[in-house]
Structure 1
Amino acid sequence: MSNLFDSFLALPNASGVGSYQAISLSDRRQDFLGKSAAGAPIFLLHDSSDATYNPGINFRHLSAEFHATCRVQTDGDAIEGQFCLVWCDDSAPELHELFVRCVAAAIEELPDASETKDLESCILRLRNLFRALAAPGVREISGLWAELFVILKSGNPTQALACWHAGQFDKFDFSRPGLHLEVKSTLKRTRSHDFSLEQLQPPMSGAGFVASVMLQMLTGGLGVLDLARSIEANVHGSPRLKQKLWENVALSLGVDFSDLLDKKFDMSYAERGFAMYDMSEVPRPASSGDPRVTDIRFVSDLTGIQSDRPFEVLSAAMSKQ
């Protein structure tokens, strides 16, 4: 599955309606990934229900049709059956890889004998996800890149994904009992970051950290999809975490995904400039003590504060239960 998108790219376009050269996606289900006549990815998900009328689903970038009879040719025998077809807009090729990886992760948890209602529920969740691609992104691309960098370099991507925020309103970027971790990124030459006092509150019992990632744009560098692919390859047997990974990426990109996917950063520069700090080390203003003041925001320069063995500190923080 790690090379699924590359395998998709190698497929021929469909020569006609209802007939596809495709990739088998499961040992327990008859699900396939093919390519439409226009070159867009199309999933064929086996439906074990009796054929009845179910209206199709059409949304920006994503469409679905139920109870379609198709012939599928794989490296093995040809198969003819009843499928739910889920396809991506052929006019947005820059979205195709994200579509393939999001849908592939979502269908891993389908029951062995999926009925129409199971497939419809899965697709409606995907529809909600792709709705995010028609709305403004929830954070800067540099911030998303830095969070993915931290997951990849944590030494425990499964644990890191599990405590990664599940929405834009979560208080910390990574949290679980005993750990608060806030990730900050900068394209400046100084290690200056925006904070709120609330972001520097460690847990009552445990530790709070700030991960500082200094970034430099590089044409030949890595983008968010490159990092997300590497993370997915290190998360085995965890379909829900894979879904969380790709959902967070989609929600972060928003309507500007076409431009943002082209943003790439220098991985070696980020590795050299990575730092980890205890929250208590971050310079901050004193709390006003006035209950009418509910939010204090400030910029703190961490340039002169030493950070020893940052990747070891990160790995230890993520590994503790």
Structure 2
Amino acid sequence: MIDLKEIYDKLPLPKNQNSNSYSAKAIKGFENHRIAKNYADNPSLLIFISEQNQDFFIANQNLFSIKVSHNLKCEIESDKKLTHNNFSVVSYIGQNDDVKDIFLSTCQVLIKSLGQNPTNKKIKHTVGKFIELFKAIKETPTKSLQGLWAELFIIEQSNFPENLINGWHSIPEEKFDFSFGKLRLEVKSSATNVRTHHFSSGQLNPIIDTEIIIASILVNVNAGGFSIIELLSRINNKINDFPRQKEKLHLLIYSTLGVNINKINQVKFDYELAKESLKFYKSTEIPKIEINNIPKEVSNVSFVSNLVNSTNIVLNIDELIQSFTKDN
């Protein structure tokens, strides 16, 4: 897997301090494009523009610490040689080192879908994704670090994480974390030794022709555990051939964390405890307030249930999904 951060860190500052001067290196496998560093030590992705594409228009933008310049004539210093070429340039212009690393990992994710000779549509898509991702990290967090870690842990446990990502919620407000045909999967984590979880009435009461499964995990903060970025790296290594799923994975992580993005590598949870404690339960096995006992005038009912006397399903995540979706 290409490590653009490693490549970037080894780039010297360009000798020329012109704003369009870069120290750059071609990206292995995508040699038409460059990962680049300017005199202020800020990273850029230089996107190749074929001659037939040089006339199409993308508006120059400066939003959310991302600067976009189309068809820019760049002075490139590479291997002690100086060249001049036109590129579409996407740059991070902020000063946060954590966000700089996120920019480079975003380049790494999007370069595969961009391809060696991108069409106008692909270039616009890539520029749009950068804006979308960096807009997301300016927003209010929509989930706790623990909740996001637990969902990523479930994805990482699968031998086919691309399937889990396809079923992952597109917006945090959705009732269930994952949807697969007629199966709904909700992930709950507890930072105590007791398997107690918060539920809304809609997460446990039956839905016609739909199976609701709860994944229950015990978690502990542990300096020797895995951070969100480490789980993300493990997942990325399994989905190198699925660029669309990689894009969705990164977008959902960034949009979920919002301004907490700088904590992506700070808080770590005990991976082995999560692995040993992971259990799956049918919603029918979990204590709840039955829908028939909730007055029609009452809404947004939530409660805490203890699963100590509930019977779990003895399956791993892939077996679970297959068993409940094979007839769909």
Question: Aligning the two structures, in what range does the TM-score lie when normalised by the shorter sequence?
Answer: 0.7 to 0.9
Where 2:32 maps in the other structure, the secondary structure is: coil
SS in 1 for 2:44: strand
> Superposition pairs for residues 187-206 of structure 1, below 5 Å?
187-201=191-205, 204-205=208-209
* Residue type of the alignment partner of 1:99: F
For the Cα contact (< 8 Å) 2:187–2:215, is it kept in 1?
Answer: yes
Contact 1:223 1:262 in 2 (8 A): yes
C-alpha spacing 1:238/1:53, structure 2 compared with 1 (3 Å): closer
Matching residue of 1:15: 15
Once the two structures are superposed, residues 206-235 of structure 1 have per-residue CA deviations (whole angstroms, 9 ceiling, x without a partner) of: 532111111111223211111111111101
TM-score by length of 1: 0.87
Which blocks of at least 5 consecutive residues in structure 1 are unaligned? none
Could you tell me whether the CA contact under 8 Å between 2:150 and 2:187 is conserved in 1? yes
> What stretches of structure 2 of length at least 5 have no aligned partner?
none
**Residues 77 and 26 from structure 1, CA distance in 2 versus in 1: closer, same or farther, beyond 3 angstroms?**
farther
Q: CA RMSD in A?
A: 2.7
Flag the 1:307–1:286 CA change in 2: closer, same or farther, 3 A.
Answer: closer
Q: Counterparts of 2:320 and 2:82 in 1: how far apart (Å)?
A: 50
- CA displacement, residues 251-275 of structure 1 (integer Å, 9 cap, x when unaligned): 0110122235411111112112222
Going from structure 1 to structure 2, the CA distance change for 1:281 and 1:54 (only over 3 Å counts) comes to closer
Equivalents in 2 of 1:242, 1:258: separation in Å?
20
CA shift, 1:204, in A, is 3.9
Partner Cα distance (2:80, 2:206) in 1:
56
Alpha-carbon distance, 1:120 to partner: 3.8
1:75/1:206 CA distance change after superposition, 3 Å: farther
Could you tell me which residue of structure 2 aligns to residue 34 of structure 1? Answer: 36
1:53-107 per-position Cα deviation (integer Å, ceiling 9, x unaligned): 8652112232122222235466899764211111223411111232222233234
Q: Determine if contact 1:134/1:255 at 8 Å carries over to the other structure.
A: yes
Deviation at 1:317, TM superposition (A): 2.0
Counterpart Cα distance in 2 of 1:202 and 1:9: 53
How far apart, in 1, do the equivalents of 2:57 and 2:244 lie? Answer: 30
Does residue 1:275 correspond to 2:268, yes or no? no
Match for 2:242: what amino acid?
A: S
- Correspondence for 1:137: 141
Aligned 8 A contact 1:98 1:246 in 2: no
- Give 3-state SS (helix, strand or coil) of 2:151's partner: helix
**8 Å contact from structure 1 (residues 209, 279) kept in 2:** yes
| Deviation of the 1:129 alpha carbon | 2.2
What is the Cα deviation at residue 141 of structure 1?
0.7
The within-5 A match list for 1:203-282 is: 204-205=208-209, 207-282=211-286
**2:165 pairs with one of 141, 161, 164:** 161
The residue type paired with residue 89 of structure 2 is L
CA–CA distance in 1 between the matches of 2:22 and 2:308? 60
Give the structure 2 partner of residue 317 of structure 1: 320
| Segment of structure 1 superposing worse, 257-266 or 4-13 | 4-13
Q: Does structure 2 retain, via aligned residues, the 8 Å contact 1:173–1:183? A: yes
Query: How far apart are 1:40 and its partner, in Å?
Result: 2.9
Deviation at 1:285, TM superposition (A): 1.3
| 1:222/1:266 contact within 8 Å kept | yes
For residues 101 and 282 of structure 2, what CA distance do their matches in structure 1 show? 37
Partner of residue 183, structure 2: 179
Range moving further from structure 2, 29-38 or 220-229 = 29-38
Tell me how far 1:177 sits from its aligned partner.
Answer: 0.8
Q: What do the CA deviations read for 1:20-53 (whole angstroms, capped 9, x no partner)?
A: 23241544x6112123333332111112333688
TM-score (norm 2): 0.86
The percentage of counterpart residues that share the same residue type is 24
Superposed CA offset, 1:90-135 (max 9, x none): 4111112322222332343336544666534432332122111111
1:94 to 86, 93, 98: 98
Q: CA deviation at 1:150?
A: 0.2
Residue correspondence of structure 1 range 39-118 to structure 2 within 5 A? 39-48=41-50, 49-50=53-54, 55-72=59-76, 80-110=84-114, 113-114=117-118, 118=122
Question: What SS does structure 1 have at the residue aligned with 2:71?
Answer: strand
| Contact 1:225 1:261 (C-alpha < 8 Å) held by counterparts | yes
Does the alignment pair 1:291 with 2:296? yes
Aligned amino acid, residue 9 of structure 2: L
